[in-house]
C-alpha cells in the first residue's frame, strides 16, 4: 500500500512539475511575443520618423526651389525694367540731340539770313 501511495505521490509531483514547466514555457512564449511586438513597434516608429524626415526634407527642397525661381523671375523682371528705362532714356537723349541739331540748324539758317540781309543792305548802301 505504501508503495502505491508513493507512486501516486510521485505521479502527482511529476504532473505538478510538468504543469510548472508548461507554465514557464508559456510565460517564455508570451515574453518572446511581447519582445517581438515591441521590436516591431519600434521598427514601425523608426520608419514613420524616417518617412516624416524625408517628407520634411522634400518640402524644404521644394520651398528652396520655389524661392530660387521667384528670385530669378524677380531679377529678370528688374533687369527688363532697367533695360526698358535705359532704352527710354536713350530715346529721349536721341530726341533731345535731334531737337538741338534742328535748333542749331535753324539758328545757323537764321544767322545766314541775317548775314544775307546785312550784305544786301551794305550793297544797297554802296550802290
Examine residue 21 and state whether it is found in any structural domain, yes or no.
no
Examine residue 23 and state whether it is found in any structural domain, yes or no.
no
Give CA–CA dist 82/64, Å, rounded.
27
Over the stretch 46-94, which tens digit does the pLDDT of each residue have?
Answer: 999 999 999 999 999 999 999 999 999 999 999 999 999 999 999 999 9
Q: Count how many domains the chain has.
A: 1
Cα dist. 23→30, 88, 101 in Å? Answer: 10, 96, 115
Give CA–CA dist 69/62, Å, rounded.
10
pLDDT grade for 117, boundaries at 50, 70 and 90: confident
Please give the residue range of the domain that contains residue 53: 49-127
Examine residue 11 and state whether it is found in any structural domain, yes or no.
no
Examine residue 58 and state whether it is found in any structural domain, yes or no.
yes
Examine residue 66 and state whether it is found in any structural domain, yes or no.
yes
Give CA–CA dist 98/101, Å, rounded.
5
Q: How many CB atoms lie within 10 A of CB 97?
A: 10
Examine residue 17 and state whether it is found in any structural domain, yes or no.
no
DSSP 20-62: HHHHHHHHHHHHHHHHHHHHHHHHHHHHHHHHHHHHHHHHHHH
Place of cell 539758328: 107
pLDDT grade for 127, boundaries at 50, 70 and 90: low
- Report, as an integer, the average pLDDT of 95-109: 88
Examine residue 40 and state whether it is found in any structural domain, yes or no.
no
Q: What is the pTM of this model?
A: 0.45
> How far from each other are the two terminal CA atoms of the chain, in whole angstroms?
186
Q: What is the gyration radius of the CA atoms in the chain, in angstroms?
A: 54
Examine residue 1 and state whether it is found in any structural domain, yes or no.
no
- Report, as an integer, the average pLDDT of 91-106: 91
Considering only residues 7 and 28, tell me which one the structure prediction assigns the higher pLDDT.
28
Amino acid at each position: 500500500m505504501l508503495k502505491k501511495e508513493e507512486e501516486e505521490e510521485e505521479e502527482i509531483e511529476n504532473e505538478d512539475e510538468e504543469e510548472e514547466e508548461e507554465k514557464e514555457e508559456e510565460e517564455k512564449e508570451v515574453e518572446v511575443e511581447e519582445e517581438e511586438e515591441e521590436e516591431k513597434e519600434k521598427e514601425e516608429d523608426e520608419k514613420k520618423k524616417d518617412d516624416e524626415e524625408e517628407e520634411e526634407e522634400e518640402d524644404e527642397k521644394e520651398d528652396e526651389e520655389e524661392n530660387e525661381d521667384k528670385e530669378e523671375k524677380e531679377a529678370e523682371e528688374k533687369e527688363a525694367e532697367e533695360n526698358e528705362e535705359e532704352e527710354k532714356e536713350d530715346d529721349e537723349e536721341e530726341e533731345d540731340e535731334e531737337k538741338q541739331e534742328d535748333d542749331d540748324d535753324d539758328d545757323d539758317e537764321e544767322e545766314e539770313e541775317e548775314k544775307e540781309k546785312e550784305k544786301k543792305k551794305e550793297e544797297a548802301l554802296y550802290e
